[in-house]
Amino acid sequence: MLSVWEFEGKGRGVVATRTYRKGDVIDESPVLVIPARDWPHVEQTVLSDHCFRWGEQDEDAALILGVCQLCNHSYEPNARYTRNLERCTIRFEALRDIGPGEEITVNYNGRAADRTDVWFEVKE
């Protein structure tokens, strides 16, 4: 189970309410695919900061329809996400053991070790 908490300087985030072991699936949620032709409209809204790259060539975007949509970014994440283009889902898995009350974080760049700058100031 997961809970949503407010984090000072970061806004809402996702917190584990039970233990997840390394490799456990934390959540798998459907996504709403935003076709590339619609992106110019979405890009002008608050939704643009909450979309994931989508499609074989990352030509589209996707919005998660689940609580992990609110996972915060970290350069030292405890979880990762993988996209399933056929099923239109994103799966979140534990990179290490995560205890109850611990925030679940992912690297927004898509790979846990990717230190590429993101579009906002990171609060660890």
CA–CA distance, 88 with 110 (Å, rounded to integer): 17
pLDDT tens digits along 60-82: 999 999 999 999 888 889 999 99
CA–CA distance, 104 with 68 (Å, rounded to integer): 9
pLDDT tens digits along 7-33: 888 889 999 999 999 999 999 999 999
pLDDT at 120: 45
List the end-to-end C-alpha distance of the chain, in Å, as a whole number.
23
**The three-state (H, E, C) secondary structure of the chain, written as one string:** CEEEEEECCCEEEEEECCCECCCCEEEEEEEEEECHHHHHHHCCCHHHHHCEEECCCCCEEEEECCHHHHCEECCCCCEEEEEECCCCEEEEEECCCECCCCEEEECCCCCCCCCCCCCCCCCC
Class for domain 2-106, per CATH?
Answer: mainly beta
- Cα 39 versus chain centre, distance: 19
Q: Where are the domains of the chain?
A: 2-106
pLDDT tens digits along 86-121: 999 999 999 999 999 999 999 866 666 666 655 545
